[in-house]
Amino acid sequence: MNAYVGTPTSRVDGRAKVTGTAKYAGEFTANGLVHGFVVAATIPRGRIARLDTSEALRVTGVLDVLTHTHRPPLADKDEAWMDEVAPDEGSPFRPLYDDNIKFNGQPIALVVAEDWETAKFAATLVHVEYQEGAFGTDLEAGRDKAIEVQGPHKPRGDAAGALAGAAVRHEADYFIPTEHHNPMELFATTVVWDGNGRITVYDKTQGVQNVHKYLCGVFGKKPDDIRVLSPYVGGAFGSGLRPQYQVVLATLGALALKRSVRVVLTRQQMYGLGHRPATIERVGLGAKPDGTLEAVAHEATAVTSRYEDFSRNDSGWAEQLYRSPNSRYSHKLVRLDVSTPCDMRAPGAASGVCALECAMDELAVALKLDPLELRLKCYSDRDQSEDLPYTSKQLRECYARGAEAFGWSKRNPTPRSMRDDKELVGWGMATGVWEALQMPVAVRIVLTANGHAEVYCAASDIGTGTYTIVAQVAADALGLPIESISVKLADSTLPQAPVEGGSWMAASSAHAVLGAAEDIRRELARLAKTMPASPLGGVDAADVILVDGTIAKAGDKGRAVSIADAMRYGKLERIEKHKLNHFAEDKSHARNTHSAVFAEVKIDEQLGVIRVTRVVSAVAAGRILNTKTGRSQIMGGVVWGIGMALHEETVTDHRFGRIMNANIAEYHIPVNADIHDIEVIFVEERDDRINALGVKGLGEIGIVGVPAAIANAVYHATGKRIRRFPITLDKLL
Ligand code: MOS
C-alpha cells in the first residue's frame, strides 16, 4: 500500500525549481507592468513634517509617488486575518496610513515608474522632514520597564523558595540577540490588473487565503475581486506568515494607476518586516546532590514593538520536559521603537530551549554529572505542565541512538581535556522539543478516466516539500504512480488551508488527502461491484482497495477491475471529491516532537576560530512521510542552529535606533565552509493516537536544541561559558 509514504521520494517540483521554470512572486509579468520602489523612514519614531515628492515626479518615466496624503483609500478592516500568527494585542502596521513613524525603515512612500531603475533613482529624490520623537530600541536598557504578558502558567509549588534552598543551584541570564529570517527570495508582489477592477496578486507569502482575506478587508473588496497566488516560495521561515507591507503597496499602486504593478523589496528593506525578538532568558535550576531537580524558574524578557504585543512560549518548555516538584515561568515584554517581531523558525522554543539547555549543562557541571545523565535523571514520561501522557514520546531513544552514533561515551568530562593537534575539541549535547500541531485543511481531488489525479489545496509550499508529500499520500491512497498525480497549491480560490507554519502542514494536508481519496475509493468500489460479472461481487466495500491503477480486493490482486474500466462503465469522465480533514478532538494527551542533539566543535586556541565539525541530531517525530525531504528539513534546522549559536545577530545602533547590518554581507549566516558533518537519525516513533498516519511534523524541531549543544561544546572545549549569543571568537579570547 505504501509505495511512496515513508520513502526518500525526490521532490516532485525539484526539476521545475532547478531549471527555473518554477516562478516566484517577483517573476510574474503582465502587459504594461510598472514598478514600485519603497522610500523608507530614516528615524525610529516621530512624524512626517513634510514630504516633498515634486522632484521625484519630474523624473521621466515616473508615474506617481504614493504617500499617506496621496493614495487610494485604506480601510481599517485588517484585523480579521489576524488568525493564529499575529500578536494578541495591538493594531497591525498599516503602510502609508498616516504621518506616524513607528520604526526605522518604515515605508513612507512608493515611487511608481515605467522601470525599476527609474523608480529606484527617483526614490532618492523624495525629500522628507521629520519631527523626531524620543525613542528606545535597546532591550537591556529597557529591561526595568518590562511588563508581564504571560503570567506564571499553573506554577507548581514554590519555585523561588525551592531554588533558594536547593543543595546545588544554577541561575543565569542568557542573551539571544535580534535575528532576521533572510530568506533567499526577496519579498515581492506582482499585482496584475485585469481591466475590470479585478486583480490577481502573486505574493510571497506562507498563506494565500490569509493574504486574500486581508486585502479584501484593507481595500473593501469582495472575495471575487481578488485572487492571490504564491505557487513557489523561496524560503520565509515565518516572515511570510503575516501579510507584509509590499502586498499592500503593490495593490495601492495598481488601484491608483489602474495598471499592473510589481514591488520588490531590497534586502535592507526586509529588515523592517519582523524579526526574532531579542530576549533575555533568565533560568534558575535547583537540584538535589543526586541530580534530581527541585526547582525550575524561567523568565523570558523579550522585545516587542510599541504598537503590538508579540509573545511566544519561550519559558514553558522546562515545565513540560523535566520532572520537578516546583516550577514557575513567565514572559515579559519591553515595548520599543522597532517593527513588531514575528515568528521565526521554532519561535519561542529556539530561544527559550537554548537558554534552558545551556543552564542544564551548567547544572550538570555543578553536580559533576554527565549532562546526558542529568537529562535522564529528570526525564518525564508525562507532560507535567498539563499532567498528561504523550501520544508518543521516544526522547529516551533519541538520547540513546544519538549518543551511540556520536560516540558520547568516549567523552572526557574535563573541559580543555580533548585536543586535535592545535585545536581544542569540545563535545556538547542538548534536548530539543516542539509541538505536533494539526490544523483544518481541505483538498479537492479530481480523478479522470485516464487514471490521472489532480489534487488541489490552497496550502503553500514554503520549500518544505508540501507538493511532494501531498503527491506521495495521494499516489498511495489512490493506488497510482506518483507521475500520475498533479498537485496544485497556493491559490486563494482552492480549498481552504491556513498559513503554512508551526510544522502543522504535513500532517494536516496529508489527512485531507486521505479523506478525499477515501471518498473516491468508496465511489469506485461501489461502481466496480455493480459491473456485470464483477470480480468484486460479494466483496465487502470496506475490503476494496485502490492499487496499481485498479480497484481490487485487499490481499487478492487477482480480483480487480481497472479504474479506467470502472469509470467507463459508469460513464464517468471524472470523479471529484472535496474533503476537510478531520482530527478527533483529544485533550487527554500532549503532542510533541523531540530531539537529542550532539555537537562537536574544534577551536583554534590562538585565534578562537570555532568550527562545528560534527552534529548528530536524533529526532522522534512520529512517522516520517518522506525520509529525503525530512532529512533535508532537519539538516536545514541544524544549519540554522549553527547560525544561531555562532553567527547571527542583528546589530542596532541604539543612538539612531537603526539596524546597522541590514544585509547578508554583515548579518552573518553559515556558509558552506561553516558546515561539516551533519547526521540525521529518525528514531522510530509509532503514534496511533495522534492521527491516522501517525505524522507529527518536522519543520521546526530541527533547530531547537542545536545552539545549546554547540554552546555546551564550546564550554567543554575551552572552559569558557558564553551566555551572550552569538558565540563569536572575540568572546573566547
Ligand atoms: Mo514557521 S516560524 O511556523 O513559518
* Options 3.30.365.10, 3.30.70.20, 3.50.50.60, 3.40.50.720; CATH of 439-580: 3.30.365.10
Question: For residue 116, how far is its CA from the centre of ligand 1 (angstroms)?
Answer: 31
Residues 6+ apart with CB under 8 A from 646: 610, 612, 670, 674, 710, 726, 727, 728
Q: pLDDT tens digits, residue range 249-263?
A: 999 999 999 999 999
Task: Indicate whether 80 pLDDT > 60.
Answer: no
Residue with cell 551511540: 404
710 Cα distance to chain centroid: 22
**Which alpha helices (H) appear in 585-684, and where do they start and end?**
627-646
Pair 177, 650: CB distance under 8 Å: yes
Q: How confident is the model at residue 82 (pLDDT cuts 50, 70, 90)?
A: low
Q: Dmax over Cα atoms in the chain, in whole Å?
A: 86
Q: Which three cell numbers stand for residue 255?
A: 488601484
**What atom in ligand 1 is closest to the CA of residue 206?**
4
Q: What is the ipTM of this complex?
A: 0.98
Please give the distance, rounded to the nearest whole angstrom, from the Cα atom of residue 562 to the centre of ligand 1: 43
Chain segment 178-188, per-residue pLDDT in tens: 999 999 999 99
- What's residue 77's pLDDT? 76
Which residue type sits at 717? A
Rounded-to-10 torsion of CA 308, 313, 315, 319: 150
Average pLDDT score over residue span 602-627? 97
Residue 714 C-beta-side C-alpha neighbours within 13 Å: 28
* Mean pLDDT calculated for residue range 646-662: 98
- The residues carrying an active-site annotation are 700
CA of 417 to the centre of ligand 1 (A): 40
**Dist. CA 239 → ligand 1 center (Å):** 8
Q: How far is CA 153 from CA 299, 371, 494, in A?
A: 12, 27, 39
Which protein residue has the closest C-alpha to ligand 1 atom 4? 238
For residue 277, pLDDT over 80 is answered with: yes
Q: Are 470 and 456 in contact (CB under 8 A)?
A: no
Q: Which atom of ligand 1 lies nearest, measured to the CA of 237?
A: 4
Distance 449 CA to ligand 1 centre (A): 39
**Residue 386, pLDDT score:** 84
With a cut of 60, say whether residue 32 has pLDDT above it: yes
Beta strands in 9-138, from DSSP E residues, in sequence order: 34-40, 46-52, 62-66, 89-90, 100-101, 107-113, 127-132
Class of domain 392-436+588-731: alpha beta
- Other Cβ atoms closer than 10 A to 31: 9
Cα 296–chain centre separation: 28
Output the average pLDDT for the chain. Answer: 96
Among 84, 180, 210, 241, name the best residue to mutate to test ligand 1's pocket (greatest count of ligand atoms within 8 A of Cβ). 241
pLDDT surpassing 70 at residue 151: no
What confidence category does residue 83 fall into, taking pLDDT thresholds of 50, 70 and 90?
A: low
Distance CA 364, CA 372 (A): 9
CA end-to-end span of the chain, whole Å? 58
Enumerate the H helices of 368-504 as residue ranges: 371-377, 395-406, 466-478
* Cα–Cα distance list, 68 to 47, 71, 243, 522, 705 (Å): 12, 6, 19, 57, 45
pLDDT at res. 591: 97
The SS3 call for residue 89 is strand
Closest CA relative to residue 342, chosen from 312, 318, 369 = 312
How many angstroms does the Cα of residue 238 sit away from the middle of ligand 1?
4
pLDDT at 584: 84
CATH of range 18-134+181-272; options 3.40.225.10, 3.90.1170.50, 3.40.50.1100, 3.30.1330.10: 3.90.1170.50
- From residue 666, alpha-carbon distances to 42, 575, 638, 722 in Å are 19, 55, 21, 22
Give the atom of ligand 1 at the shortest distance from the alpha carbon of 503. Answer: 3
As for ligand 1, residues whose beta carbon falls within 6 Å of it are 206, 237-238, 241, 343-345, 347, 501-502
* Mean pLDDT across 650-679: 97
The yes-or-no verdict on residue 618 having pLDDT over 60 is yes
Per-residue pLDDT of 424-454, as tens digits, reads 999 999 999 999 999 999 999 999 999 999 9
For the CA atoms of 235, 240, 246, 247, the dihedral, rounded to the nearest 10 degrees, stands at 110
Atom number, ligand 1, closest to the C-alpha of residue 236: 4
Can you tell me the distance from the alpha carbon of 550 to that of 527, in angstroms, rounded to the nearest whole number?
Answer: 12
DSSP 698-714: -TTTTTTTHHHHHHHHH
* Ligand 1 atom nearest 346 alpha carbon: 2
In our burial notation (b when 16+ CB lie closer than 10 A, e otherwise), range 328-345 reads bbbbbbbbbbbbbbbbbb
Q: What value does the CA radius of gyration of the chain take, rounded to a whole number of Å? A: 27
Cell 537529542, located at residue: 596
Say whether 67 sits in a helix, a strand or coil. strand
Distance 235 CA to ligand 1 centre (A): 10
Q: Is the pLDDT of residue 149 over 90?
A: no
pLDDT for 286 beyond 70: yes
Instruction: Please give the distance, rounded to the nearest whole angstrom, from the Cα atom of residue 347 to the centre of ligand 1.
Output: 7
Burial of 538 (0-12, 13-18, 19+ CB in 10 A): exposed
Residue 501 CA, closest ligand 1 atom number: 3
% of the chain exceeding 90 in pLDDT:
93
CA distance 195 to 206: 28
Q: Do domains 392-436+588-731 and 439-580 have the same CATH topology?
A: yes
For 321-365, write each residue's pLDDT tens digit: 999 999 999 999 999 999 999 999 999 999 999 999 999 999 999
User: pLDDT value at position 147?
Assistant: 95
Q: Average pLDDT of 129-152? A: 93
Q: Parallel, antiparallel, or unpaired: how do β-strands 188-193 and 100-101 relate?
A: unpaired
Predicted local confidence at residue 84, as pLDDT: 61
Whether the pLDDT of residue 1 is over 60: the answer is no
Tens of pLDDT, residue by residue over 87-116, are 878 889 999 999 999 999 999 999 999 999
User: Average pLDDT for residues 697-722, to the nearest whole number?
Assistant: 97
Q: Where are the domains of the chain?
A: 18-134+181-272, 392-436+588-731, 439-580
